[in-house]
Amino acid sequence: MNFLSIFVLIPLVMLLALWLVKGQNAIRAVMAVGSTALLGLAVYLTVIFLSDRAAGADAPMLYTASFDWFTPLHIKYSVGVDGISVAMLLLSGVIVFTGTFVSWDMCKEYFLWFTLLSLGVFGFFISVDMFTMFMFYEVALIPMYLLIGVWGTGKKEYSAMKLTLMLMGGSAFLMCGIFGIFYGSGGQTMNIIEIATQTGGATAIALPEQLVWFPMTFVGFGVLGALFPFHTWSPDGHASAPTAVSMLHAGVLMKLGGYGCFRIAMYLMPEAAHELAWIFLILTGISVVYGAFSACVQTDLKYINAYSSVSHCGLVLFALLMMNETAGTGAIIQMLSHGLMTALFFALIGMIYGRTHTRDIREMSGLMRIMPFLAVGYVIAGLGNLGLPGLSGFVAEMTIFVGSFQHEDTFHRVFTILACSSIVTTAVYILRMIGKILYGKCTNEHHLALTDATAVERFPVIVLICCIAAIGLAPFFVSGLVNDGVVPIVKHILAAAV
Amino acid sequence: MDYQYTLLILCLPIVSFLILGLAGKWLSHRVAGLIGTLSIGAVAVLSYYTAFAYFGARGADGAFATLVPYNFEWLPFYIGNLHFDMGIMLDPISVMMLIVISTVSLMVHIYSFGYMHGERGFQRYYAFLSLFTMSMLGLVVATNIFQMYMFWELVGVCSYLLIGFYFTENPAIAASKKAFIVTRFADLGFLVGILVFGYYTGSFSFDFTESFTYAAGALHGVAPDASKAVAAGGFILPTALFLMFIGGAGKSAMFPLHIWLPDAMEGPTPVSALIHAATMVVAGVFQVARMFPMWIQYAPETLHYVAWIGAFTAFYAAAVAMAQSDIKRVLAFSTISQIAFMMVALGVCMPGHEGAVIDNHGSLGYMASMYHLFTHAMFKATLFLCAGCIIHAVHSNEMSAMGGMRKYMPVTHITFLIATLAISGIPPFSGFFSKDEILAASFAYSPVMGWVMTAIAAMTAFYMFRLYYGIFWGTENKELHEELKAHGHFGEAPAVMTLPLVLLTLFTVFMGWTLPGTFGSYVSATGQPYEIHLDLQIAVTSVVIACVSIALATWIYVRSSQPVAERMKAAMPRLHEWAYRRFYLDEVYQFVTHRIIFALISTPIAWFDRHIVDGALNGLASGANYIGESIRPLQSGRLQQYAYVFLMGIVIVFFIMII
């Protein structure tokens, strides 16, 4: 068996074990061991991937394997990884690991769905077959409905329904797009790499067809990547979701969108990408600016972070559409960085909410003195979000801005400047939030008796902060890893343009 | 080349930051303070050693070589020669800045032992000071513009954290937020400037002429290709440089981006001395000086705009300073004004003759600016630290709580007086020499600029002596002082606080005339030594005018009753009110941010999102729901209805078939 399949196997074993065991401690043990194993595997994969690349393995995908699954439609279970997927697997490993500790007190059913969700995520990132990828994508979406609907807060049924319906609507487009690509390229294979290379580099799909399937695929994935105007599931969904689900959703699931847009839509239909990029560039540009301004006047902590995610994820798609190596690398680093930072944010918001029972920033103040650990973590997350050098956000944003500005077209450069303006708006809403809830004097006497984080809560926060700082202090490492996967895709896209 | 130890200059403060930040909770105040102070002490020793070694080794042509002991690719950008490097670069101005930063920082570290004694968050305070010092040092030794930008942002964050040190107090929260957001807004200009510069010239390196000496193993910088930018359009480089200058204007509090600096005085006073007087706020000046070869060659006209912006700022700030009653605010406006002097000095530089774009005469202002930066850092830090001693004694920032303090605080009094004389430009104190060079450079550019700056120098002398008399002479607040005496903590500050004052004052007293050679022989535009000759005409004029201002201030403010001041205030109530309110500029900003950005942009966008974008989707959902509901009666389950519909269907089908 191919060793990438272990990423899917571990959650399967965890599901089985969760089903069998009884008692909270046993459940915790299963989750802790399982998620540690996943994280360990992701780290191991990174190490051997880098050493194999250094040793000269230059195939576009490493560790590939393929099994027939449904021969009439050429659907195969094909796996393989490049730099981007390795980075994404690492991110998923970290988020699932920390998410487990954040949801330490949840019940067995919750963990069952949670594990199924991680299974979908890991499966998605190791697949190179469009259909298998789509299947894992759906596997990741369905548990979300139950997790929010059952264990959420606030108007959870509405939010769960809205989120699921919007994402399902996106998948409907996506499926049309995938079959369009499959038949348009000759109906011989669902394997992404094979489709891209089967005609010696030229795109097999005719341009008029591409112009139909590209928007479908891009919007289908874009819904998940919070593309304006299909982002409205994000504030409601995140606000209602339980903490670890918000973390996993904003941290990893939203990255599926950007990943899919890049790897399927743009990679397989480069001509259409060139033709239509300007439309999506405008939409993502709007996302970046609009999300940031919306966040400025929100009063719910989770809404602020959700709109901030719209802005930051908008930047991911924005950079991808610039279609050059630097911006592409920046986009993937931004995915990692945003994934980690937003997970940290949601984890802390969940912990604060668990104590104060409110997320309204007008009802909190002076929490710094009451829960210093959480407050300091929150300040670090906030500063990371607004691009403090030494944390990951700065690295990602700078790579994106420099890359985007290298576009020879003036329109793109003007848009880049517009996107740059988000660094100011981000500072406004982050500092407003920090100033309101953490600083000042505590005016609510119920809050005075609250306690700081417990050891189990501290652990995931520290892990996430360390990851963010690691990217921020030694970016050459991540940048090199990611660039490895970006270069062939960007080259392929650019080759089609000429 | 062996300047490998310079890496320690950056590493020691970061180590102390990590220790204090992570383990501060378990350390006593004394230990925490010692860790911070000792690490900065070591940095200071290394900096002085570096300076002696560096300035001791003049190159064959009389200029100092620019050395790069470290440089490596920190973040690749995968395009040509664009990459984000990290490194250490030693040239005259960066070595000079090492001295300034490490000296003032060390003094502030020592002083804070007394000033912050027993404060809650003492460890946090020292941790942030260490982080700030590291960032500022990193900024000045940057080998490329992106590294400078990175540390630039870091000092901004440190400033935010330190202004907001008393985070339970609302004014401190508001001030820290304001400082960060205003400078962030300016940094947007800096960032876009960097992007434009990088795009057109293909390099971020400061190695403009590829003349740097790199250590073995260091990544070599590639000179920015200005010809490419010029070919793309003559306005490009001036635009890029001016955008960068906007970033500098934000940090260095140039009008109209200065509004954050007076509010930043909410931070602890030693922080004001270090960050908001001596080091961080001159980063903008330093940035222009760093890009100076580019400015002078490709944007000399734009450089003169910088000069006029500086001149206006200097005037505006001096005018406001005359009416303030909070002593730290007076000093803050005086800082704005003095930094503007440095900007003016850079701005009045002119390209030399054909062949040599930079020469020491046309670019006299460069040297003058750096000189004033150095001297100003020392005497302004003294003034702030003295202000700290006074505030420590009377527990108030207002002049009304002071008066007659000379009797109680002799050391503070003398050091404050010397620093005030220096800033007023009275010989033989250091400020005289540096300000004189600035005036000389201004006169060389245009007599108008020269006289404007001379007039502002006179205003400086006036408001500084107004401040001095207000604190140490004038009307004494006897009631308050008696009460404070009764509590037993009134009088001269402890030695740990006065010692830094005395040490810094030594710089002010001796800096101007005891240096072997003059300042110009170390730092000058071309790198060739420049012997400073005092222009007697300018020197005498400025001293005379300063003395007249001082005499005027003495006449008005020295006595315990001040009829003239009252009459002046009564004669021009509107002007006084406007100056006291800083010409209502803060209100304008308040209006723009709250009424325009929040109320007219953010709130409508949020509403649009909730009601239009989301509403459309909800509408879609309820539409689908409505259709479903409307079709539902068809599935009624009543057999008669089905039979009826079936019959109707058959009839219709038959009709169609027949027709």
CA contacts within 13 A on the Cβ side of A341: 34
pLDDT of residue B135: 93
Query: Could you give the angle at the alpha carbon of A182 between the alpha carbons of A181 and A183, nearest 5°?
Result: 95
Distance, in Å, from the CA atom of B388 to the CA atom of B377, rounded to the nearest integer, reads: 16
Residue in A402, A423, A439 nearest the CB of B188: A423
Q: Does B607 reach chain A within 8 Å, measured CB to CB?
A: no
Q: Do B167 and A438 touch (CB under 8 A)?
A: yes
Place of tokens 């809830």: A437
Chain A with chain B: Cβ pairs closer than 8 A: 128
Burial A25-64 (b: 16+ CB within 10 A, else e): eebbebbeebbebbbebbeebbeebbeebeeeeeebbbbb
pLDDT beneath 50: ranges in chain A? none
Q: Do A293 and B602 touch (CB under 8 A)?
A: yes
DSSP secondary structure, B68-107, as one string: EEEEEEEEEEEETTEEEEEEEEE-HHHHHHHHHHHHHHHH
Q: Do B606 and A294 touch (CB under 8 A)?
A: yes
Distance, in Å, from the CA atom of A130 to the CA atom of A235, rounded to the nearest integer, reads: 29
Instruction: Report which residue type is found at A356.
Output: T
Q: Where are the alpha helices (DSSP H) in A55-155?
A: 83-102, 108-126, 130-151
pLDDT of residue B516: 64
Place of tokens 């499959």: A182
Residue in A329, A366, A388 nearest the CB of B157: A388
pLDDT of residue B395: 84
Burial B528-547 (b: 16+ CB within 10 A, else e): ebbebeebeebbebbbebbe
Which positions in chain B touch A488 (Cβ < 8 Å)? Answer: none
Q: Which of residues 35-74 of B touch A (CB under 8 A)?
A: 73-74
Q: Tokens in use for B275? A: 């960050």
C-beta of residue B88 within 8 angstroms of C-beta of residue B7: yes
DSSP 3-state of B175 = helix
Nearest to A33 by CA among A112, A82, A97: A97
Determine the length of chain A: 498
Q: Do A402 and B195 touch (CB under 8 A)?
A: yes
Q: Which positions ≥6 away from B127 have C-beta within 8 Å?
A: B16, B17, B20, B21, B24, B36
Q: Tokens in use for B64? A: 């100092």
| Closest chain B CA to residue A369 | B168
Which positions in chain B touch A377 (Cβ < 8 Å)? Answer: none
**Which value does ipTM take for this structure?**
0.91
Which positions in chain B touch A431 (Cβ < 8 Å)? Answer: 160, 176-177, 180-181
Place of tokens 């505006």: B316
Under the phi-then-psi rule, with left for phi > 0, alpha for psi from -120 to 50, and beta for the rest, what region is A226?
Answer: left
pLDDT of residue B354: 63
pLDDT of residue A70: 80
Under the phi-then-psi rule, with left for phi > 0, alpha for psi from -120 to 50, and beta for the rest, what region is A357?
Answer: left
Residue in A232, A387, A405 nearest the CB of B195: A405
- Residue B27: alpha-carbon gap to chain centroid: 32
Distance, in Å, from the CA atom of B154 to the CA atom of B136, rounded to the nearest integer, reads: 8
| Closest chain B CA to residue A163 | B617
Q: Does B170 reach chain A within 8 Å, measured CB to CB?
A: yes
pLDDT beneath 70: ranges in chain B? 1, 353-355, 516-517
User: Of A158, A289, A297, A434, which to mutate for an interface test with B (greatest number of B Cβ within 10 Å)?
Assistant: A297
Q: Does A473 reach chain B within 8 Å, measured CB to CB?
A: no
Q: Does B600 reach chain A within 8 Å, measured CB to CB?
A: no
pLDDT of residue A66: 85
Q: Does A469 reach chain B within 8 Å, measured CB to CB?
A: no
Nearest to B311 by CA among B348, B263, B282: B348
pLDDT of residue A193: 84
Q: Which positions ≥6 away from A98 have C-beta within 8 Å?
A: A247, A343, A347, A460, A463, A464
Which positions in chain A touch B597 (Cβ < 8 Å)? Answer: 296
Q: Do A232 and B617 touch (CB under 8 A)?
A: yes
For chain A, how big is the Rg over CA atoms in Å? Answer: 21
Which positions in chain A touch B197 (Cβ < 8 Å)? Answer: none
Helix axes B563-571, B573-580, angle to 10 degrees: 100
Q: Does B589 reach chain A within 8 Å, measured CB to CB?
A: no
E strand or H helix that includes residue B67: strand B67-79
Distance, in Å, from the CA atom of A137 to the CA atom of B496, rounded to the nearest integer, reads: 65
Query: Strands B67-79 and B82-90, how do they pair?
Result: antiparallel
Distance, in Å, from the CA atom of A255 to the CA atom of A258, rounded to the nearest integer, reads: 5
Q: What is the widest separation between alpha-carbon atoms in chain A? A: 70
Q: Does A187 reach chain B within 8 Å, measured CB to CB?
A: no
DSSP 3-state of A443 = coil
Q: Does A290 reach chain B within 8 Å, measured CB to CB?
A: yes
Q: Does B153 reach chain A within 8 Å, measured CB to CB?
A: yes
pLDDT in tens, B155-179: 999 999 999 898 888 888 888 888 8
Distance, in Å, from the CA atom of A59 to the CA atom of B81, rounded to the nearest integer, reads: 28
Which positions in chain B touch A394 (Cβ < 8 Å)? Answer: 150, 153
Q: Which positions ≥6 away from B142 have C-beta within 8 Å?
A: B87, B89, B148, B151, B206
Query: Could you give the angle at the alpha carbon of A346 between the alpha carbons of A341 and A348, nearest 5°?
Result: 95
For chain B, how big is the Rg over CA atoms in Å? Answer: 31
Distance, in Å, from the CA atom of B240 to the CA atom of B145, rounded to the nearest integer, reads: 12
| Closest chain A CA to residue B174 | A435
Q: Which of residues 609-628 of B touch A (CB under 8 A)?
A: 609, 613-614, 616-617, 621
Q: Does B187 reach chain A within 8 Å, measured CB to CB?
A: yes
Q: Where are the alpha helices (DSSP H) in B142-209?
A: 145-163, 170-201
CA contacts within 13 A on the Cβ side of A71: 0
| Closest chain B CA to residue A329 | B77
Distance, in Å, from the CA atom of B559 to the CA atom of B563, rounded to the nearest integer, reads: 9
Q: Which positions ≥6 away from A121 have C-beta within 8 Å?
A: A92, A96, A136, A140, A248, A252, A253, A256
Helix axes A422-437, A270-296, angle to 10 degrees: 40
Which stretches of A445-496 are assigned E, i.e. beta strand? none
Q: Does A479 reach chain B within 8 Å, measured CB to CB?
A: yes
Q: Does A211 reach chain B within 8 Å, measured CB to CB?
A: no
Q: Does B75 reach chain A within 8 Å, measured CB to CB?
A: yes
| Closest chain B CA to residue A387 | B153
pLDDT of residue B404: 80
| Closest chain B CA to residue A325 | B78
Phi, psi of B76 (to 5 degrees): -75, 145
Neighbours of B18 (CB within 10 A): 13
Q: What is the dihedral of CA B301, B303, B305, B309, to 10 degrees?
A: -170
